[in-house]
């Protein structure tokens, strides 16, 4: 799957979690910009894993801070 398609699919998944309707860029930070708390992160990661049929390890999750990093990680896990 192409990175652009993964980007689009993740954007659609993030919508219900984006309560403040922040414009999503590659540099958007989940904790700072979107103000995701730990429960929201868990729910969002579960949605990503279900959508793409992948597992994102706790170590990987700890390293992903921005939307762009998430798209890159999902792209790698898909290939």
What CATH number does residue 62 fall under? Answer: 1.10.1200.10
Active site residue 37: yes
Q: How many domains does the chain have?
A: 1
Angle between helices 3-14 and 67-78 (to 10 degrees): 120
Q: Which of 33, 37, 50, 72 is catalytic?
A: 37
**pLDDT single digits (tens) 43-68:** 999 999 999 999 999 999 999 999 99
Dmax (CA) for the chain in angstroms is 33
Full domain range(s) for residue 9: 3-78
**Whether this model's pTM surpasses 0.95:** no
């Amino acid at each position: 799957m192409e990175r652009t398609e993964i980007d689009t699919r993740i954007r659609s998944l993030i919508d219900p979690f984006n309560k403040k309707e922040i414009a999503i860029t590659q540099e958007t930070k989940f904790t700072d910009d979107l103000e995701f708390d730990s429960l929201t992160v868990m729910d969002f990661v579960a949605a990503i894993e279900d959508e793409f049929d992948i597992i994102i390890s706790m170590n990987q999750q700890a390293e992903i801070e921005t939307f762009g990093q998430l798209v890159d990680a999902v792209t790698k896990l898909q290939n």
